Copies of this chain bind each other. A is one copy, B any other.
């Protein structure tokens, strides 16, 4: 690759607490020529908020505005526009830091950008603390030891597929709850796993909540929430 091109860094900024950013992420954010991040149409960005104290006032910012109601094709189009904009910075020899909640390659929108840049530009991924590990820490619930299996399952899958994956001894993290919360809670009840489940939302942020799932009775959960469940945690509420 042309050595005069800039580098695109996909930077994991961790689960929410700005102190859970890595030293490498901090250094790259402080030294970047351009900071890009996913944002709503009105400009709000959780990734930017997490990293805000490390962003220099003088840096060029490029919000990647995403309409959250987009379908897959529209999302891909929006990221294609962003990738083209990032290309222009890289062609000028500027380094671009793309901020990503949690880890860039773990359900991160950075994957869209990466797939569009990887063959032409130098792209480096800086791993971050994932929400899975943050939720284990916040709920004081060890995730896995010895020969345990860990599974991460999006709640957006249909009930039968989720049920099929709950057939093992080990820990399952059911993520992206949002409007799928009642479906998941109902399934865990059906499988007699309610007493073995912990509910966590916005882990490590000032407004975090965590409780045994049986204590969660509002019937609602935000997108940034998850259930950790393990058949051996029967004692969770005792």
Contact = CB atoms under 8 A, between A and B. Distances in A.
A126 B136 CA distance: 10
Contacts of A118: 140
Interface residues of A, number: 57
A102 to B, nearest CB: 9
5 contacts: A19-B27, A22-B22, A125-B136, A127-B136, A129-B129
A148 interface: yes
B22 A129 contact: yes
Contacts of A18: 23
Given A152-B144, A153-B149, A154-B149, A137 B19 contact: no
Given A72-B146, A106-B144, 10 more contacts: A12-B129, A17-B24, A20-B126, A103-B129, A103-B143, A105-B142, A107-B148, A108-B142, A127-B130, A127-B137
A17 B22 CA distance: 10
A6 interface: no
